[in-house]
Amino acid sequence: MTDTVPERKMALICAKGGLDECYPALILANAARMSGIDCMIFFTFYGLDVVTEDRVDHLHVNMVGNPSSPMPPFIAGLPGMELLASSMMRRKLDELDLPGPREMLGILHEAGCTMYGCELAMRMFGRTREDLLPVVEDVITATDFYDLTAGAHIVFV
């Protein structure tokens, strides 16, 4: 009898495009690859912003409607609060020496994490393959996603 360790696979679904909302998927994918776990990320709906060339460097923190925000909603909605929150988060990420989303995607790509855009979301938002960063392997359907993730742990982030 041999003790074989089953292959571990992780599939993350990134459906949110906020600066604060994309990091959980990026950090989990990085941790998976560092642990030798095969990993892929499926970017859908607003998560497409994370892998869209003209949006990735302009992600922001949305304080309005965030139940975990320490700011009361009437203050969070004031002009400039989103910019302030985003600036504070970028500063904190710098202090923690965490790369920005674009750099993090490059690191993941080099580590072997495969990344896909959602075909339906691409059509909904009028995006083309050329709008996406080169780290995106392909644009696939939800059915393709399930085919590619056979045997993987799927996490919606």
CATH number at residue 110: 3.40.1260.10
Q: What tens digit of pLDDT does each residue of 72-122 get?
A: 777 777 788 788 888 888 999 999 999 999 999 999 999 999 999 999 999
For residue 92, tell me if it sits in a domain: no
Decide if 118 is inside a domain.
Answer: yes
Residue 69 in any domain: the answer is no
What mean pLDDT is predicted for residues 43-66? 92
Residue 115 resides in a domain: yes
Residue appearing with tokens 């609060």: 81
Q: What is the token pair recorded at 79?
A: 């002009």
| Structural domain contains residue 90 | no
Residue 56 lies in a domain: yes
* Residue 26 maps to a domain: yes
pLDDT score of 81: 79
Domain limits for position 28: 9-62+101-156
Q: Per the structure, how many domains does the chain have?
A: 1
Cα atoms found within 13 Å of the Cα of residue 98, Cβ hemisphere only: 17
- Percent above pLDDT 70 for the chain: 95
More confident residue, 101 or 62: 101
Is it the case that residue 38 has pLDDT exceeding 90?
A: yes
Range 6-20 burial, b when 16+ CB lie within 10 A, else e: eeebbbbbbbbbbbb
Q: pTM for the complete prediction?
A: 0.89
